[in-house]
């Protein structure tokens, strides 16, 4: 069996829907096996053409039209066509009418987790991007907005709590142990923001008073017994609500805000109006079961989904090509929230690590696409690092170029001008053109052009005139389907470093950092210093002011000197990362046998100098991941790169032995608090624990076992467990068995147990994990904990030259794709780097992709596999 790739959708084909929906009434008769959905759509036609409604996996039981306030008349079979993609009314009335339909759906057989499905005996929905069409016939596109009234009816014992968007209307008892509830959402919304949840939950409740004094009832709905573990999510929600008022002047607009946690969920979380639905992994946390990274993720995801209320819900996307309009902007907003809650420079570094690992990787492979592409295959596959992370960077550049006050004015205008609308990137930028009076069309090129620009920086010093002349040249490598590239405006934040920890003044201006714009293919910057000045150094791309790859031809010694002179936290960290990358390449290709001591000393000194800011110090100990190194030089040899990494970690561990011993023998902060201050201390502890494991010195296993046994929280249990997986001997197996026995009843913690092994072990380990009785193809968290952890975090084993890594997961990817195409497609993106690999692994990866396609993939997965293989596949 072979599946065809999905038909491409094109931006240029956009046409408005020729009907307006004035209101929607939905009636659900809920059952796990069968749910009956009655929809009543109040329609005004514009024109005389047929009416198309999307619909998938629906059983139509009734269809009727009511005209001019009259009674509904069932349609004749000749009046409409229903097929696997939807319903067409051949000649709808020419004046306003009401369309009534009744369909049957089956939540319990919905394993795709799109539409209405069953998770842990409870009903829930996921409608973005195109899930609503699996609930009822509807124009399932974001530019069709309507108000909704929802009535749910069902057995009270199975579904005691009935939730939907908006605020509750009437509710009550019905005969036969049944009950009903109505919810009314006054705000017009597209169907992708619809949500329904029904089941038995424990609820953590709280209230929030908005800036204008309104009270909002907050509820987080979780599995029985889990309510205390939702406290951090609730705290994060209240801080998010306050932050959006203070930072963007945005107030919440309903009297109720609910969150529901579900165990089976394709993504992290979803921003449905007034009823966010979350993967339980991003709601539930306490010190015993969640790591600091989990707490941090919960804080940012709760914020992200909450911030969508204005950037996404009140103002939504005209079509899915505009996805970055809500996602890139909302990621930018959640990143700034996190920066305000924690440390801004540390947050910036983490955001850049993520961008480089995921988005630069995407740009370097066959799946590269523009932030706003002009065509796509399967819509689920457009939720990419490029749309999200690069999309966020573009907003960050805009803000930097126009300044924070003007940015805020532009946002205010956007909210004022477009509230209640479905808009485009052009509409968004028009607001900023109004407030700046500038033409931003050159900047908008960033949205259309795929690929990561490379900026080469070179300097010459003329002592006679005390002038540092800097030249810049930009170029973007070709990407699939887009071979010709144009220059883009690149804002580079610079400073002239005096080498004594400060800045020098140039061109008679102040010594403050300044923004240099590189608009064309090349540019020059002449920095004239006071006569007789010593040669200064240039700090460029401070705070990662543009999503580009900066290259400078500097020697190791020059780079070390630059790191010492830097005054920008990001550049200090990044200067070391560049040095480490060069070192790892030299160690991996055999041109160097042992780590250079000057370099290791420079890292160790930087760490020692940052001990007062432990989270930053922790980042300084971090070595670039193997995947990041793929981008530096090809063909990439993951096995050699992983070995080089471990060698360098060993040297660093040796030089920092004193600091490591002192840090780890100090007591962990107590009592536990998940906030930034303590998390920062623990970040350095766990970084050192990681170094101990990687170095695997004699005695490391014993030290780590000791730390594992007395670990006071999950952050340290997991860090020591992970570190132990690199050590030889019995200790590793003993700790893994202990951890499994202890947490066997907690699925979220068991996900960690699976993932720690998959991300560090061998192909054989992965086969054993897949065969484990608790492995569950229907639970995306569990599948990702094994397959994605192995294929995306354990690159040396996944890309083993003999193909054993691919073979270990091939059948499971195929099986997961049959159950859940969105999940199957996501797992397949692990193959996107195959052309960068050394030839043996590359050939095995290609062969594996071909076998998968031959075996038959879903449309979603085929979209990825086909592009990954390329035309000449």
> Catalytic amino acids?
305
Task: Give the full edge-to-edge strand order of the sheet including 202-209.
Answer: 202-209, 215-222, 256-262, 275-279, 269-270
- By DSSP bridging, strand 122-126 and strand 167-174 are unpaired
Task: Find tokens 């089976």 and name the residue.
Answer: 264
Taking the least distance from each CB to ligand BES, the nearer of 146 and 316 is 316
Q: Which residues contact 83 (CB under 8 A, 6 or more apart)?
A: none
Taking the least distance from each CB to Zn ion, the nearer of 319 and 613 is 319
Q: Least CB distance from residue 419 to ligand BES, whole Å?
A: 20
Q: Least CB distance from residue 57 to ligand BES, whole Å?
A: 18
Rounded CA gap, 384 and 359, in Å? 8
Taking the least distance from each CB to ligand BES, the nearer of 393 and 459 is 393
Q: Least CB distance from residue 300 to ligand BES, whole Å?
A: 6
Q: Least CB distance from residue 355 to ligand BES, whole Å?
A: 13
Q: Least CB distance from residue 144 to ligand BES, whole Å?
A: 18
CB 54 within 8 A of CB 191: no
Taking the least distance from each CB to Zn ion, the nearer of 180 and 257 is 257
CB 288 within 8 A of CB 715: no
Query: Out of Zn ion, ligand BES, none, which partner does residue 301 contact, by CB within 5 to 8 A per kind?
Result: ligand BES
Q: Which residues contact 375 (CB under 8 A, 6 or more apart)?
A: 8, 9, 10, 11
Beta bridge partners of 148: 24, 185
The vertex-618 CA angle with 616 and 622, nearest 5°, equals 115
Query: Out of Zn ion, ligand BES, none, which partner does residue 269 contact, by CB within 5 to 8 A per kind?
Result: ligand BES
Which is nearest to 291 in space by CA: 712, 597, 626, 621? 712
Q: Which residues bind ligand BES (CB under 6 A)?
A: 128-129, 267-271, 300-301, 304-305, 308, 327, 331, 383, 388
Q: Least CB distance from residue 301 to ligand BES, whole Å?
A: 4
Alpha carbon 358 to its chain's center: 9
- Per-position x/- string for 653-692, each x denoting binding to Zn ion as judged by CB under 5 A, each - no binding: ----------------------------------------
Rounded CA gap, 790 and 805, in Å? 9
DSSP result, 23-50: EEEEEEE--SS-EEEEEEEEEEESSSS-
Q: Is the alpha carbon torsion for 548, 475, 458, 648 positive or negative? A: positive
Taking the least distance from each CB to ligand BES, the nearer of 260 and 604 is 260
Rounded CA gap, 181 and 451, in Å? 50
- Per-position x/- string for 308-337, each x denoting binding to Zn ion as judged by CB under 5 A, each - no binding: -------------------x--x-------
Taking the least distance from each CB to Zn ion, the nearer of 330 and 858 is 330
Which is nearest to 315 in space by CA: 413, 218, 390, 397? 413
Q: Least CB distance from residue 278 to ligand BES, whole Å?
A: 9
Q: Least CB distance from residue 95 to ligand BES, whole Å?
A: 36
Taking the least distance from each CB to ligand BES, the nearer of 164 and 330 is 330
Q: Least CB distance from residue 283 to ligand BES, whole Å?
A: 13
Helix axes 700-709, 714-724, angle to 10 degrees: 160
Q: Least CB distance from residue 310 to Zn ion, whole Å?
A: 12
Q: What are the structure tokens assigned to 244, written together?
A: 């959006």
Taking the least distance from each CB to Zn ion, the nearer of 102 and 327 is 327
- By DSSP bridging, strand 522-528 and strand 467-475 are antiparallel
User: 812: phi > 0 → left, psi -120 to 50 → alpha, else beta; which?
Assistant: alpha
Query: Out of Zn ion, ligand BES, none, which partner does residue 751 contact, by CB within 5 to 8 A per kind?
Result: none
The vertex-300 CA angle with 294 and 303, nearest 5°, equals 135
Compute the radius of gyration of the chain from its Cα atoms. 28
Rounded CA gap, 469 and 459, in Å? 6
**Which CA distances in Å does 155 have to 31, 121, 335, 408?**
8, 13, 43, 49
Q: What are the structure tokens assigned to 5, written together?
A: 């790739």
CB 408 within 8 A of CB 302: no
Query: Out of Zn ion, ligand BES, none, which partner does residue 267 contact, by CB within 5 to 8 A per kind?
Result: ligand BES
H-run or E-run covering 216: strand 215-222
Rounded CA gap, 572 and 619, in Å? 11
Which is nearest to 661 in space by CA: 694, 685, 693, 690? 685
User: How many alpha carbons lie under 13 Å from residue 802 in its C-beta half-sphere?
Assistant: 5
CB 132 within 8 A of CB 156: no
The vertex-78 CA angle with 72 and 84, nearest 5°, equals 95
**Which CA distances in Å does 105 have to 35, 44, 135, 162, 229?**
5, 27, 7, 18, 33
Q: Least CB distance from residue 266 to ligand BES, whole Å?
A: 7
Q: Which residues contact 115 (CB under 8 A, 6 or more apart)?
A: 56, 57, 105, 125, 126, 127, 131, 132, 133, 134, 135
H-run or E-run covering 259: strand 256-262
Using CB under 5 A, list all residues that contact Zn ion. Answer: 327, 330
């Amino acid at each position: 069996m072979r599946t065809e790739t999905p038909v491409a959708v094109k931006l240029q084909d956009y046409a408005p829907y020729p009907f307006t929906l004035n209101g929607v009434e939905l009636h659900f008769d809920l059952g796990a096996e069968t749910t009956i959905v009655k929809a009543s759509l109040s329609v005004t036609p514009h024109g005389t053409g047929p009416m198309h409604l999307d619909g998938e996996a629906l059983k139509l039981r009734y269809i009727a039209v009511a005209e001019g306030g009259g009674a509904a008349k069932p349609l004749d079979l000749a009046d409409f066509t229903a097929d696997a993609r939807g319903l067409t009314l051949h000649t709808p009335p020419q004046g306003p009418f009401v369309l009534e339909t009744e369909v049957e759906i089956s939540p319990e057989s919905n394993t795709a987790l799109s539409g209405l499905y069953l998770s842990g005996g409870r009903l829930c929905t996921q409608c973005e991007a195109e899930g609503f069409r699996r609930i009822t016939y509807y124009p399932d596109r974001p530019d069709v907005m309507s108000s909704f009234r929802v009535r749910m009816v069902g057995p009270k014992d199975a579904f005691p709590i009935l939730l939907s968007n908006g605020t509750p209307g009437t509710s009550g008892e019905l005969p036969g142990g049944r009950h009903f509830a109505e919810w009314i959402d006054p705000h017009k919304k597209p169907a992708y923001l619809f949500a329904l949840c029904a089941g038995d939950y424990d609820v953590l409740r709280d209230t929030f008073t908005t800036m204008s004094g309104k009270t909002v009832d907050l509820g987080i709905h979780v599995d029985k017994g889990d309510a205390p573990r939702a406290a951090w999510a609730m705290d994060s929600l209240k801080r998010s609500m306050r932050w959006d008022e203070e930072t963007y002047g945005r107030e919440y607009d309903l009297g109720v805000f609910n969150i529901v946690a579900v165990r089976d969920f394709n993504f992290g979380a979803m921003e449905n109006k007034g009823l966010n639905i979350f993967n339980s992994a991003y709601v539930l946390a306490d010190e015993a079961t969640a790591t600091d990274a989990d707490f941090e993720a919960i804080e940012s995801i709760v914020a992200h989904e909450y911030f969508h209320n204005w950037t996404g819900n009140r103002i939504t996307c005209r079509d899915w090509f505009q996805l970055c309009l809500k996602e890139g902007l909302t990621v930018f907003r959640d990143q700034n929230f996190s920066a305000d809650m924690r440390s801004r420079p540390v947050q910036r570094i983490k955001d850049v690590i993520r961008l480089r690992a995921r988005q630069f990787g995407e740009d370097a492979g066959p799946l590269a696409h523009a932030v706003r592409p002009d065509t796509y295959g399967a819509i689920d596959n457009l939720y990419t690092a490029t749309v999200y992370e690069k999309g966020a960077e573009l907003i960050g550049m805009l803000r930097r170029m126009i300044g924070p006050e003007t940015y805020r004015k532009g946002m205010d205008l956007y909210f004022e001008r477009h509230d209640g609308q479905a808009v485009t990137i052009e509409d968004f930028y028009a607001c900023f053109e109004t407030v700046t009076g500038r033409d931003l069309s050159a900047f908008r090129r960033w949205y259309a052009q795929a690929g990561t620009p490379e900026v080469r920086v070179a300097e010459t010093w003329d002592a006679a005139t005390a002038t540092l002349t800097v030249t810049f040249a930009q170029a973007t490598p070709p990407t699939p389907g887009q071979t010709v590239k144009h220059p883009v405006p690149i804002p580079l934040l610079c400073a002239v470093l005096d080498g004594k920890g400060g800045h020098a003044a140039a061109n008679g201006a102040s010594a403050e950092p300044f923004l240099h714009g590189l608009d064309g293919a090349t540019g020059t910057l002449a920095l004239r210093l006071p006569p007789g000045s010593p040669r200064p150094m240039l700090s460029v791309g401070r705070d990662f002011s543009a999503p580009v790859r900066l290259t400078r031809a500097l020697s190791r010694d020059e780079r070390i000197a630059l790191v010492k002179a830097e005054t920008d936290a990001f550049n200090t960290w990044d200067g070391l990362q560049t040095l480490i990358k060069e070192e790892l390449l030299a160690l991996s290709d055999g041109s160097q046998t042992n780590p250079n001591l000057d370099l290791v000393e420079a890292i160790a000194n930087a760490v020692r100098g940052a001990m007062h800011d432990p989270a930053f110090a922790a980042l300084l100990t971090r070595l670039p991941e193997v995947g990041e190194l793929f981008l530096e030089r090809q063909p990439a040899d993951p096995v050699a790169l992983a070995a080089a990494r471990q060698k360098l970690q060993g040297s660093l561990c040796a030089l920092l032995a004193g600091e490591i011993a002192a840090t780890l023998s100090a007591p962990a902060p107590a009592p536990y608090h998940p906030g930034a201050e303590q998390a920062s201390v623990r970040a350095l502890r766990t970084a050192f624990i990681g170094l101990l494991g990687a170095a695997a010195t004699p005695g490391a296993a014993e030290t780590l076992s000791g730390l594992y046994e007395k670990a006071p929280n999950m952050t340290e249990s997991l860090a020591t467990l992970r570190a132990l997986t690199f050590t030889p001997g019995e200790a590793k197996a003993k700790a893994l068995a202990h951890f499994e026995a202890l947490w066997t009843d907690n699925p979220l913690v068991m996900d960690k147990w699976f993932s720690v092994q998959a991300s560090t072990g061998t192909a054989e380990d992965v086969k054993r994990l897949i065969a484990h009785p608790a492995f569950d193809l229907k639970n995306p968290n569990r599948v990702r904990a094994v397959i994605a952890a192995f294929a995306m975090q354990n690159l040396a084993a996944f890309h083993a030259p003999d193909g054993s890594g691919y073979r270990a997961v091939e059948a499971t990817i195929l099986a997961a794709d049959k159950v859940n195409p969105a999940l199957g497609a996501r797992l397949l993106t692990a193959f996107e780097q195959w052309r960068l690999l050394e030839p043996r692994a590359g050939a095995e990866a290609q062969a594996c992709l071909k076998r998968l396609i031959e075996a038959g993939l879903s449309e979603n997965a085929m979209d990825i596999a086909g592009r990954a293989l390329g035309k000449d596949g």
